[in-house]
Structures are given as C-alpha cells and as structure tokens.
Structure 1
Amino acid sequence: MPQPSSITAARPLIGRLSLCVKAARLIGLLLLGLVLLPLVPMIGNRSWKIVRWWHGRMLRVLGVTLELDGQPLAGPALIVANHSSWLDIVVLGHVFNTSFVSKAEIGGWPMVGSFARAAGTLFLARGAGKTGETSAQIRQVLDSGRSVLFFPEGTTTWDPQPRRFHARLFAAAIEGGYPVMPVALRYCDDTTPADMHHALVPWVDEAPIWPHFRDLFRVHDLRAQVRVCAAIDPRGYDRRSLAEASFHAISHRQMMAAAKARTPDRAA
C-alpha cells in the first residue's frame, strides 16, 4: 500500500502533467483554428456552425462548464450582456449564432484579430460620427438573419452586476424593429460568493493578458452561467430608455439568482 508521504509527493507531479496535457490540447486547437481560418468566410451563412463548434471545444479545453438558463430567440436579435473578460466571447459565441461588436483595437491583435474577423466581428470605429456607420453594419447583419451581440457597458468589470449602459448602438434595434435580448453572465465555482464572479475570471483595468490567461488556465471546475432574460420589443422606446430597460433586466436577473443561491433548499 502506498504511504501517505508518497501520495502527497505525487500530487504536484500529477498536477503538472495535467497542465501539460491541457496546454497540448490548447495548442492543437489553436493550430486547427489557423487551418480553418481561411475556410470560414468561404462557407457563407453556415460558417457560424464552425465558429460555435470551435468555441465549444475551447470551453472544454479550458475546463469551463456551461449552464444555460432560459431560451434564446429563434430569429435575429440585438443581444446585450454584462462584460467581465475575454472569456465572454468564447462562452456567448458558443451559445448564440451571433456576430460581435468589438473595439477597433482588437482587429490589430495577432491571431485574435484574425479569428475575430473570420467569425464576422464588427469593429467599432472611433471618432465623432462613426456610430452611425456601426449601426448600419449591425442592421445589415440583422437583416441577413444573424443576431448581433455587444457589451453596452463599454468595458469589463469585476462585478456581475452591470454598470450603466451606453445607449448609442441600441438605435439599430429601434430602426429595424428587432427585439433586444438581455443576457446575464456570471462565472463561479462551488466556493464563489453568490453575488460575485470567480476571482480569477475578470480581466479589467488593462491588465496584461498573458498573466491573466495563465492564472485562469490553471482553474478547474469553472462554471459559466448564462441567464437569458425576456426579450424586449423596441417599439415605444428611444435609445436611452431601451438601454435602461436592458440594464434593469440583467441587474434584476443577477440579483434574483444571487438571492436564490443564498437561500437553503427547504426540501433538503
């Protein structure tokens, strides 16, 4: 029978081997992505299936379990979500058939920018008068039958509770009559406080991405909770009121989920 000391000594080695296997799987998936990269635009309307599959494989490699609460709309919608990390793209890109709206700087990032363009990302132009161009691009994607997702906080935050939403891109839903679907997103494990994200998930304050990715890569049993709120009909709203309605939908959903998690199961 192995001695307790030998078992204890073996655990660090097993942990390192597990990380090496995980890293090899990640490298293999990235290389496969580079192979698929030129093929995605050629496939046309069905390319989202490849993108969704790749995002799902990435979640498996990272050890992230998806928990989906609610039913996404069948047709195109303007999807808005709270934002905490680059991981949001992987999670939501697997759940929804959607193009993302991203800041223009992402398009210049090595590898990441190429993946984003292949997936149909719309890059938000900087400068006065550019919002109309982005809104027109959003309308074009929605008219093609695909949803568009953006993060109206305009930044990443530590807290699952959203900050105030910027209203300008909500114009595309109003002008086209497309529903807005708020989505509340949270990351946790069994030890995470009910009203917080897992401490290693948020990527904020322009922190270097490599140390953040390295620490997150070591996490086991991470859960991504995706809570789909009731869709909002844009009729009767202006941009600001529609943004506020979406903000309150996500905020309320996060508060209700946290309160439920804190309440012991009476049937237990």
Structure 2
Amino acid sequence: LSAFLVFLLLSMATLGLVRIIEFCSRQRIDRTVLVNVYSAGLCRLLGMRIQTRGLVMEGPALRVCNHVSWTDIPILAAGLPLRFLAKREVASWPIIGWIAREIGTIFVRRGAGDSAKVRQTLVSALEGGSSVVVFPEGTTTTGAGVKRFHPHMLGAAIEAKCPVQAITIAYHRDGQRDWLVPFTGDDDFVAHLCRLLKKPAVRMDVLYHPPVTVSASDNPADLAQLFHQQVSQGLVTLREEYEPAAARRTPLNHKESATEPG
C-alpha cells in the first residue's frame, strides 16, 4: 500500500510538471507514452499478470469490451494508446479521478439524457485519430458472463467511419475465475483497492477479436448483438483454455513448470 501511494504521488507530480510545461509553452504534450508507462506500473503494483491473445488493430478504432472492474482500464491502457469512457463518479475518486481527467477520460453522467452529447464527443475523438474504449454493458459485472450491449455508443463508429474491435477480458486466480477483482454494487473504491493489494498476483487474459469495418448502412443494434456474441464466445474460450488446464495439473507437472525458464 505504501509503494502504491508513493507511485500515485509520483504520477501526480509528473502530470503536474506536464501541465506546467504546457502552460509555459502554450502547447499540449502527448501523454501516450506517459499513460502507457503509468498503467504498466500500476498493474505491476496491483499484482496483475497480463496474458494477451489475438492481434491489436493499429490506428484509431472504437474498442468495445466487457467490464469487470476499474482495473480493466489500466490493464488495457498499458499496451494501447487509448481514451476511455467512464462514469462521472470516477472523476471524484481520490487521486485516480484527477489522473483520469489528465489522461483525457471522457466522463458520462448516468441517466442524465446527454447520450447525444457523449456520442458527438466520441465521434470527434475518433475523427481526431484517437482510439476510445467503451463498455457497452453500462456497468461492471462479476465476470461470469456478459450482459446485453447497449447500442447507442456504437453509432459513433458509424458516423466517424471508424472500425470497431471487440475485446474480451477474464480474471483468473489459482486456476479458477477470480471473485476478488470484480468491482460491483456499492463496493467502496479504497476498500476494494486494499483487498487487491493484500492478495497474491492475479492473471488477466485479454483476447483481441478481429476488427470489423462498419458502414453508414449498419444498424447499431445489429452491431451490438454481433460484438456481444464475439465477447461472450471469447469469454467461453478463455475459460475452457485456462480453467480445465489448471484442474488437470498434477503436482509433478506443477513442479516441472515452475523450473522452466520464463
């Protein structure tokens, strides 16, 4: 916890220095490298061991992903230049909220009826060359399955003429689906963070699906169904490949694998 707090304070100091340089030079500094390094360090401190599969599409794209916890964000940002769509409450979280604002997170107020404004913000970001991650489920889940995808944000990709890439994420610990990482219901951020820091490393599997080119004739509802099927099937694949293998592992195999390099 001490190392985590020191890391956050150093990150804030770095972002503060960037702001000062921007103010003096009157030019905005690209934060991509800073965000990637920060996110990778944060994942390391949280004990996240990331395993990726599939190919990451280069260039601007709308990425749609299932949503399990706030930890999804640094894990995805560790390997990609991304902006995120997040609930407005995140902006008020201690330290994390300030950092989220500094890296260009797009905040949404739930039930505020401003979906058209948010969609236009997404269109502008995509047309400006940014890749944006949205969580179409609209909330976090336990990771056991994938909730229905809401289609309204997918219209931004159609309007911006931008491809869409689906991403599936799954957390595993000790050969089973992890129950600690999901951040659901009325869970408190600080309490959840402390629970994560107390436990051993958790493995996160990230599966990148083939990108889909959209056109003006596409229906957002049909796209939502398509990407929901991709992400759901990806979750089944990750469970079948990881959990049965762990269940079949014998003590001898476990010992042998521990002595292998890498």
Tell me whether the two structures share a fold, i.e. TM-score over 0.5: yes
In structure 2, what is the Cα distance between the partners aligned to 1:188 and 1:40? Answer: 36
In structure 2, what is the Cα distance between the partners aligned to 1:259 and 1:117? Answer: 38
| 1:201 matched to 2:181 | yes
**Greater alpha carbon shift after TM alignment, 160-169 vs 125-134:** 125-134
Residue aligned with 2:98, SS: helix
1:123-177 CA-to-partner distances (Å, cap 9, x unmatched) read 1145565111111111111122110011111111112421001111111101111
Tell me the TM-score normalized by structure 2.
0.85
Which residue matches 1:30?
A: 8
Which residue matches 2:257?
A: none
- Residue correspondences, number: 240
Picking from 118, 124, 132, the partner of 2:108 is: 124
Picking from 89, 100, 109, the partner of 1:105 is: 89
Residue aligned with 1:224, SS: strand
Q: Structure 2 vs 1, CA of residues 108 and 209 (structure 1 numbering), >3 Å: closer, same or farther?
A: closer
Residue aligned with 1:66, SS: strand
Q: CA deviation at 1:237?
A: 2.0
**Greater alpha carbon shift after TM alignment, 92-101 vs 210-219:** 210-219
In structure 1, what is the Cα distance between the partners aligned to 2:240 and 2:38? Answer: 34
| 1:250 matched to 2:231 | yes
Q: Structure 2 vs 1, CA of residues 247 and 39 (structure 1 numbering), >3 Å: closer, same or farther?
A: farther
- Percent identity over the alignment is 29
Greater Cα radius of gyration, structure 1 or 2: 1
| 1:67 matched to 2:51 | yes
Residue aligned with 2:16, SS: coil
In structure 2, what is the Cα distance between the partners aligned to 1:24 and 1:117? Answer: 24
Which residue matches 1:226?
A: 206
- Aligned-residue CA RMSD (Å): 2.0
| 1:80 matched to 2:61 | no
Q: Is the 8 A contact 2:205 2:238 kept in 1?
A: no
Which residue matches 2:122?
A: 138
In structure 2, what is the Cα distance between the partners aligned to 1:211 and 1:31? Answer: 19
For structure 1, the 5+ residue unaligned runs are 1-22
For structure 2, the 5+ residue unaligned runs are 254-262
Letter in 1 for 2:210: A
Q: Structure 2 vs 1, CA of residues 126 and 186 (structure 1 numbering), >3 Å: closer, same or farther?
A: closer
Picking from 194, 209, 214, the partner of 1:214 is: 194
Q: Is the 8 A contact 1:40 1:119 kept in 2?
A: no
In structure 2, what is the Cα distance between the partners aligned to 1:110 and 1:68? Answer: 30
Which residue matches 1:149?
A: 133
Letter in 2 for 1:199: W
Q: Structure 2 vs 1, CA of residues 159 and 237 (structure 1 numbering), >3 Å: closer, same or farther?
A: same
Q: Is the 8 A contact 2:46 2:201 kept in 1?
A: no
Letter in 1 for 2:193: F
In structure 2, what is the Cα distance between the partners aligned to 1:47 and 1:128? Answer: 30
Residue aligned with 2:86, SS: strand
Picking from 116, 138, 147, the partner of 1:163 is: 147
1:230-262 CA-to-partner distances (Å, cap 9, x unmatched) read 111122421111111111110111112222332
1:170-203 CA-to-partner distances (Å, cap 9, x unmatched) read 11101111111110001112331xxx3x111101
Q: CA deviation at 1:71?
A: 1.4
In structure 1, what is the Cα distance between the partners aligned to 2:196 and 2:32? Answer: 26
Q: Structure 2 vs 1, CA of residues 151 and 45 (structure 1 numbering), >3 Å: closer, same or farther?
A: farther
